[in-house]
Amino acid sequence: MEIQTLSKAKRLLLLYCSFFRITALVVGGGLAMLPVIEEIFVVKHKLMTREELLDMTALTQTVPGIIAINSAVYIGMKIAGVPGALAAAFGAVTPPFTVILIIASLFPHLDPKNRYLLGVFAGIRAAVTGMILVTGCRMFRRTVKSKLECAVVLVFFVLAIMKVSPALLILVAVPFGWCYVWWQTRRLARAEQANRESSKDSAESMQNGEDAK
């Protein structure tokens, strides 16, 4: 179904139900949700491009707040404005809020040494790790496209292992990214100018050759 044919009310319902299902069924937080968000909003409904999803991922991890809620607000705002952001946010909040209330009421009565319970948590942790790893690999393939970008990823990876503050890494990455884009823009502009001058010289040479004949 084309999203353009839906009324605003149906768009809001789509946003609420989509994020309700995502947060109800996906375990592991915002990063683990990204493959499902991509499947629903990029592949199925074609409401976003993969590049926009990457930008959203970087933004939602940079600004304060929970990644799942930030993603819901971003996508909801893009599709249906402020009402869409609210509908998506409420959809994302409802399942975890309900589940955590149930867990909080039952947790004091659970045996923390129960081997079956510990096995459940071990399985969940392993599955979440795999989903986050898949998301990271997808982002790496789509983001890192040059040797310089690969070097930057390696440097920031080493700094992260050294337990440098994530806030400091982001603050350093912002001016570096701006300088990198500025340098690429200047380089492309010089290349285009050189091509125009080369084409102009070739045209003048051909014209001079014709005049000589």
For the segment 162-191, the average pLDDT, to the nearest whole number, is 81
For the segment 128-139, the average pLDDT, to the nearest whole number, is 76
Quote the pTM value.
0.62
**Residue whose entry in the numeric block shows the structure tokens 């353009």:** 4
Taking only the tens place, the pLDDT of each residue in 13-34 is 989 999 998 888 876 666 778 8
